[in-house]
Amino acid sequence: METLLERGIPIDAINEYSTPEKKPGGRPPHWEMVFWSTRKPLAGARAVVAASLLPAEAYQTPEQFLNDLFPCRHSRKTVHACNPAPRLVKMMQGKKVLDPFAGFGSIPLETARLGAEAVAADLLPVAYIILKAVLEFPRWVKPQDVERWGKWVVERLREEAGELYDANIYIGTWEVKCPVCGRYTPLVGNWWLARVKGKEGYERLAWMEWRDGRIEVRDLNEECRREGRGPCDELNAEVSTRGEEGEGGSVEWRGRRYVLPRKNVDIKHKKTAQCLYCRVEIDHRVVNGKLVRGEKSEGDWYVKWALRQWSANYERYLRGEITLEELKNSPARPTLLVKIRIENGDLKFQPVTPQDVEKLWKVPEELREMWGDPDIPTEQMPLYENRRITPMLGATKWYQLFNPRQLLVLVKLVKLIREAGRLAEEEKLKEGASQEEAKKYAEAVTTYLAIALAKYADYNSLGSGWNQSLIMGHALSMRGISMMWNWYDQRPDNNWTGAYLRNILGVTEAVEYLSQTPGAVRVVLDDATELSKLEGGGLTSW
């Protein structure tokens, strides 16, 4: 039998309908739940699945096929948002699709939306959990339940960790002890805080300056408001930058000219830094434990060595082998530059105070008391091409990718999510559900809360970079974990990209979207070469 796919389908039109899914505003809601590097467009998957299973004579014209595939194609750009037409669903009933490399689940999801039966298999445990969340769990839990339990976690976390924050977001970096003057100098990779272009000018312009041994903030929008010479939401300014990001620049506005500092650390080209106090170039090397100024082929660059010492001392402190004061005196350590308050959707930038930094240093004491807790990820990071994924940072274990506050909050979230799952199961049992039903419900709730946690960790680590575009960079933006000088640390209850509360609301929207799938799907964790977990013991019996 010749299939519709073999006869030919309107591929140009299908590509056009698939394109918006790769752009902001057009992505399916569940794509925003968690970062996944290979998310295939749903429109394309739907078209290929249907055309592969239907006979060539099922549709006389390409227009008829497209109308049934995407009933809303004439009214909206995101055609994935509407289910196929009932006529097409009826033709697909009784048909089966197996995807042995299901990944993020586009093919089995669209198979189910077409009304056919789907089996999604994957050998990767993470993919298996995501597939369950996308394909199976929306039948077991309501979107409002996910939101309710997520907000329960957030409220409990406010009670336990709310005092850790005096602002919504902190921008931090690393500071190293200058080998010449002995003072701790921040290493700033980019002095811009916000540089957002509008239609005619700039919607937001703010940056940091180094003045009298401390960080100050220059916010042109705030200066405009103080002077009372609006409009201030679209600044008529000229901005120039010097080549690469972080190379300083200048701003001309209302007859004034501001010059931005250059970054004072360069690991990509020169492997050098500059002390902001004494202005000496920090190109020193550490050879056999001694600090020298020699050839770059000798020993380790001082900054790289200092970061490695921090990671080692961090663990020694948590193990109880050194004091907090000794940890603070490490040759490198995390520090804070700027704090941000979110007010009516706008960002208010302020320099941090000594009290803000001191509050950060209070956290390791609580972590030390928890050391040995299995929820602290002390596992060794794997090697990649004989190098660790963060060679510059010097981290060797997963927990070292977070500053103490980030780590403590994530560990608390893990425990609260586990508690929420237990309470959710008890609640279902009290409502009269069977043990199996209650367990499935709790499993679904816990998984969605954990997915929101995974995204929060991606947006709240020492690998999460602050972007002056205000489109936040998460740790996996570059398909790996890179060294970040301007990282950010945010409250979990922010209404901001990547915050835990925002993630819960995104997951809730995703579950609502996914719950409108009529067909049946089964997810299995299995080897594609065997598929022994299919009904009857293998592929041939299915």
Domain endpoint, select from 313, 331, 352: 352
What are the structure tokens assigned to 440, written together? 């499935």
Count structural domains, the chain.
Answer: 2
Distance CA 227, CA 141 (A): 53
Q: State phi, psi for 155 to the nearest 5 degrees.
A: -65, -45
pLDDT of residue 539: 47
Q: From first to last of its 542 residues, what are the pLDDT tens digits of the chain? A: 799 998 899 999 999 999 998 888 889 999 888 888 788 899 999 999 999 999 989 899 999 999 999 999 988 889 998 999 999 999 999 899 999 999 999 999 999 999 999 999 999 999 999 999 999 999 999 999 999 999 999 999 999 998 999 999 999 999 999 999 999 999 999 999 999 998 889 999 999 999 989 999 999 999 999 988 778 888 999 998 875 455 678 999 999 999 999 999 988 767 889 999 999 999 999 988 888 886 667 788 899 999 999 999 999 999 999 999 999 999 999 999 999 999 988 999 999 999 999 999 999 999 999 999 999 999 988 876 555 555 557 788 999 999 999 999 999 999 999 999 999 999 999 999 999 999 999 999 999 999 999 999 999 999 999 999 988 888 887 766 778 889 999 999 998 999 999 999 999 999 999 998 877 889 999 888 888 877 654 444 45
pLDDT of residue 389: 56
pLDDT of residue 499: 96
pLDDT of residue 22: 86
443 lies in a domain? no
The CA dihedral of 505, 411, 438, 521, to the nearest 10 degrees, is 60
Q: 77 and 206: one domain?
A: no
Distance CA 196, CA 427 (A): 47
3-state secondary structure 196-260: EECCCCEEEEEEEEEECCEEEEEEHHHHHHHHCCCCCCCECCEEECCCCCCCCEEEEECCEEEEE
Radius of gyration of the chain (CA): 27
Q: 15 and 100: one domain?
A: yes
Q: 123 and 230: one domain?
A: no
pTM assigned to the model: 0.92
* Parallel, antiparallel or unpaired: strands 117-122 and 521-525: parallel
Q: 284 and 348: one domain?
A: yes
Distance CA 274, CA 392 (A): 17
Residue 38: how many other CB atoms lie within 10 Å:
7
Q: 122 and 29: one domain?
A: yes
- Contact (Cβ atoms closer than 8 angstroms) between residue 150 and residue 504: yes
pLDDT of residue 52: 95
Domain endpoint, select from 337, 352, 367: 352
pLDDT of residue 130: 95
Q: 255 and 131: one domain?
A: no
Domain endpoint, select from 298, 324, 352: 352
- Give the 3-state secondary structure of residue 319: coil
Q: 31 and 133: one domain?
A: yes
Q: 329 and 232: one domain?
A: yes
- Contact (Cβ atoms closer than 8 angstroms) between residue 202 and residue 195: yes
pLDDT of residue 538: 46
Domain hosting 205: range is 173-352
Q: 287 and 192: one domain?
A: yes
pLDDT of residue 385: 57
Q: 185 and 311: one domain?
A: yes
Burial (Cβ within 10 Å: 0-12, 13-18, ≥19) of residue 237: middle
Q: 95 and 196: one domain?
A: no
Q: State phi, psi for 45 to the nearest 5 degrees.
A: -60, -45
